[in-house]
Chain A
Amino acid sequence: MTTLQVMFFFFSLITVAGGLYTVIARNLFHAALGLIVSLAGVAALYALLEASFLAAAQVAIYIGAIAILIIFAVMLTRGVTGKNPVKDWWTYTITAIVCLLLLVVLLTTLFRFDWPQTAQAAVPADSIARLGKSLVDPSLYVLPFEVASVLLVAALIGSAYIARDKK
């Protein structure tokens, strides 16, 4: 068991455990904290996969902005009763069985293929510069990049308008 494999197990355990806590916790703030742990675990997995820019972007965007948004929404929409209502146990069981079936389907599809055991090539040393260039290259991804910025402006204006105080 190499150190890389040990680290992979550790971080994927953190990710899945955080995700499970998110969907099970009764207290919504605790669920948000579980989500943050899960997102940090995913960032660690990106670092293991040598996608360093994406790892830092994951922490900066997801934990530094989206998780804060979610926590704000949890705090602003606290129910008057305090305790969150949950579905009955029968619904829970059926949902759990359905999700397990989905997992089984995904895993059987996955194992049908012969995935490589090791990486085919090394990551180029200037991968970040290449990523930047690919985002502004006319023959590569400049169009999705510009459309993404228009999407963000639309989301900004739209959410500010929808959530404003209408008094």
Chain B
Amino acid sequence: MVPLSWYLIVAAILFCVGVFGVLARRNAVAILMGIELMLNAVNVNLVAFWRYLEPDKMVGQAFAAFVFIVAAAETAVGLALIISVYRNRETVDVENVDLLKW
């Protein structure tokens, strides 16, 4: 049997990899990829808790399903914003789009 703590460790490692991706990348799309990794790590945590602690209540699965939905909506809007910024500024390097008005 796989102990619950192993799943939580994997989720923690994946979350930290996502944080590294968000902090250490200059391209906006790469930052979004790091955010997706973090959301997936959170989902793994939720589903592992559901399975090991309360498998007969559907709370865990419903919560994870809602995280899917929110991640999809946020990715769509985030990528639309990035494409719009690229059209205006010809770059998606976050080091160069750091002023509110220029």
Contacts and interface: CB of A to CB of B under 8 A. Distances in A.
Interface of A: 2, 4-5, 8, 12, 15-16, 19-20, 22-23, 28, 31-32, 35, 38-39, 42, 45-46, 48-51, 53-54, 57-58, 61-62, 65-66, 69-70, 72-74, 76-77, 79-80, 84-87, 91-92, 95-96, 98-100, 102-103, 106-107, 110-111, 115-124, 127, 130-131, 134-135, 140-141, 144, 148, 151-152, 154-156, 158-160, 162-163, 166
A119 B23 contact: no
B47 A46 contact: yes
Contacts of B100: none
A87 B24 contact: yes
6 contacts: A4-B2, A38-B14, A51-B50, A66-B71, A98-B23, A120-B55
B18 to A, nearest CB: 7
Given A45-B47, A118-B52, A131-B61, 14 more contacts: A16-B13, A42-B44, A45-B10, A49-B51, A73-B32, A73-B82, A74-B29, A95-B24, A99-B19, A103-B13, A106-B12, A116-B4, A117-B4, A134-B58
A74 B83 CA distance: 10
Interface of B: 1-10, 12-21, 23-30, 32-34, 36-37, 40, 43-44, 47-48, 50-56, 58-59, 61-62, 64-66, 68-77, 79-84, 86-87, 90-93, 95
A77 B86 contact: yes
B56 to A, nearest CB: 5
Output the residue of A5, A45, A72, A100 with the most chain B CB within 10 A. A45
